[in-house]
Amino acid sequence: MSMELIPSKVKDKTIIKKCHICGEIIESFHEVERCPSCKKPFLPCQYFGKVHAKNTSEFKQLFSHVSELQEDLLIKGLYTIW
């Protein structure tokens, strides 16, 4: 039996995040700001490496699209890029 590679039809990557409060698994192309299940707000990935926001509109700009993230810098066990 030989294995055959099947080309993926999906070109965009997905962020998969687990809420550390309720355990909800969230899939998105952009970092989520809060859990859709328990409404727990999240910090953006790599928050401390970014400029700290002074107001709500600046804070929302800290959340990245999946193409801007590097998997090796994500918190293991809470995030993955697939």
pLDDT in tens, 40-56: 998 887 666 566 667 77
The residue ranges of every structural domain in the chain are 15-81
More confident residue, 65 or 41: 41
Percentage of the chain modeled with pLDDT above 70? 62
| Banded model confidence at residue 26, pLDDT cuts 50, 70, 90 | very high
* Res 36: pLDDT: 95
Report how far residue 45's alpha carbon sits from residue 31's, in angstroms, rounded to the nearest whole number.
Answer: 8
Instruction: Provide the 8-state DSSP code for 82.
Output: -
